[in-house]
Amino acid sequence: MYSIIKQLFQSKTPIVKRPPPAHANNESSKAAIPENNTQEAASILSQEALDFLLPLQKTCDLLLDINLLPLKDRSFITSNIRKIRDNNFEIPMLPHVVIRTQQLLSKPDVEASDLLDVIKGDPTMSAELLRLANSSYLGFTYPTLDLKQAITRIGFNQFHGLIVLLSLRSHILQNGFFNNEIKWTLELSLSLAKLCQKLAPELEMPPDEAFTLGLLHNIDYLVIIGEASLYSEKSTSGVVSREAIVETICRLGSSVHNLVTRSWGMGDSKWIKLAVNSEGLRSFESSDAEKLLLRFDSLQNQLINALGGRTFITDTVGFDARSLKDALNEVTAPSKNNTE
């Protein structure tokens, strides 16, 4: 697997005042959604979910003055900044099922039955993977009846990304905090994976690789939500607010993503590009990840708005506008997406 390594957090980013939202941790507020160049459609995500996801569009370069936040939120943000600065930020350890799967997938002769033997040892993971295989995200036209069939149909590369994501989700949910935020982030990740898979030719990469990179593009979101969950469990001053989580992701998401990919052995700063020469011969070549990162960020920006019922058809960063619009419509078409 190859992954995107994002640039480290730059402390010189300007700090400006951004009014705190009207909602608390479990309340809704009215988030402003851009009005230009949009088409109205049915909203899949609730307004509450959009309030949480819209500020995370990788465009949050105007950071909040954290002195406007309550003490518990200031403490959470600054403690994580110190951890990153001092190289003390702890990345969750991958469970045995994920580590063993990585080992098996590194072998050229791995078979679905090998992976099945590992997954069967984790009943919770087995149930979640089978449920996900039958969800609208993977788009199979007929039901997946058993776990071996699910592994075969999902594909080995996509399978690995899914169990990483599901393992992290289960780890965070143990503390009982931020269930909605985890659900929304997982829904965004699965939708982005599906969108990237459909646009794989324009990303110049194999569909399964595009799916996995899209799936894990926001792994830093879940890790930071996990940090907020642990902090809230130990704190005597209350639960960390959504605003503090958003602010931490905006400030430190790139650094956390970098730490996760290195800690979990998920690649370096290169990605594999599918190249076709003038004679039609296909080959794979290594390329810098920066341009790909910008394109994934652009897709996510479009996707969040589309999940809110508005499809942007501008600022496509190298994508054909019609292809992007069709892919967005197809990804957001299901009337019900179930990630629980």
Q: Following DSSP, what letter does each residue of 252-283 receive, concatenated?
A: HHHHHHHHHHHHTT---SEEEEEEE-TT--EE
Asked if residue 318 lies in contact with residue 201, where contact means CB atoms within 8 angstroms, the answer is: no
Per-residue pLDDT at 281: 56
What is the percent of the chain where pLDDT is above 70? 74
182-241 pLDDT tens trace: 999 999 999 999 999 999 998 888 888 899 989 999 999 999 999 999 999 998 888 999
Q: What does the alpha-carbon distance between residue 117 and residue 229 come to, in Å, rounded to a whole number?
A: 32
pLDDT interval class at 15 (50, 70, 90):
very low
DSSP 178: -
Q: What does the alpha-carbon distance between residue 319 and residue 299 come to, in Å, rounded to a whole number?
A: 9
Three-state SS at 335: coil
Length of the chain: 340
62-77 pLDDT tens trace: 677 888 889 999 999 9
Q: What is the mean pLDDT of residues 92-101?
A: 87
Structural domains in the chain, sorted by start: 47-331 (1.10.3210.10)
Q: What does the alpha-carbon distance between residue 157 and residue 3 come to, in Å, rounded to a whole number?
A: 12
Residue 27 pLDDT > 60: no
Q: How far is CA 123 from the centre of its chain?
A: 24
As beta bridge partners, residue 146 has none
Instruction: Report pTM.
Output: 0.78
pLDDT interval class at 156 (50, 70, 90):
confident
